[in-house]
């Protein structure tokens, strides 16, 4: 399974400039997802420095994990897409090895460590070409979306 930007925007509530996934190239259900972020000098976070801030690399991993969590549409293991909220709970063992600069294409690989209906743990790695630039373990919660007050 692969996803273009339109399909990604249907699944995630994020919008520019905080949507940090441009394309999903591969999803292996119950195992991993591979996503792409094209880093541009025009990205607003690049004006503060000349590299992608480390917290945004981890946020991109979390967004990829959220997309991964709904890859098994129709299963009963988690709430359905559009009927759930995905919360980023924590980061462990984050390592930032090399800066990510404009012109780089960030390949984000997120592997499932533990999946359950409510709490999920993932191991994320970010690469530029085939060189590891960052990695982290992330913890996320999946909850039913609150009903609209309207």
Confidence of residue 77 (pLDDT cuts 50, 70, 90): very low
* C-alpha torsion sign, points 20, 23, 24, 25: negative
In this prediction, residues 27-34 reach a mean pLDDT of 94
Q: Distance between CA atoms of 24 and 70, rounded to whole angstroms? A: 13
Task: Pick the catalytic residue from 13, 17, 50, 119.
Answer: 50
Q: What was the pLDDT predicted at 107?
A: 98
Q: Is 14 a catalytic residue?
A: no
Does 82 have pLDDT greater than 70?
no
pTM of the model: 0.86
In terms of CATH, what superfamily is 5-144?
Hotdog Thioesterase (3.10.129.10)
Query: For position 76, what pLDDT does the model report?
Result: 44
């Amino acid at each position: 399974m692969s996803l273009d930007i339109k399909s990604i925007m249907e699944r995630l509530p994020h919008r520019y400039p905080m949507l940090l996934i441009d394309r999903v190239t591969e999803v292996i259900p119950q195992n991993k997802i591979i996503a792409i972020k094209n880093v541009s000098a025009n990205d607003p976070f690049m004006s503060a420095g000349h590299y992608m801030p480390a917290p945004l690399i981890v946020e991109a991993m979390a967004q990829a994990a959220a997309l991964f969590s709904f890859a098994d549409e129709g299963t009963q293991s988690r709430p359905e897409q559009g009927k759930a909220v995905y919360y980023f709970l924590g980061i462990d063992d984050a390592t930032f090895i090399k800066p990510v600069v404009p012109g780089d294409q960030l390949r984000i690989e997120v592997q499932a460590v533990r999946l359950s209906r409510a709490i999920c743990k993932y191991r994320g790695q970010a690469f530029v070409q085939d060189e590891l630039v960052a990695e982290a373990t992330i913890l996320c919660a999946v909850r039913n979306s609150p009903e609209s007050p309207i």
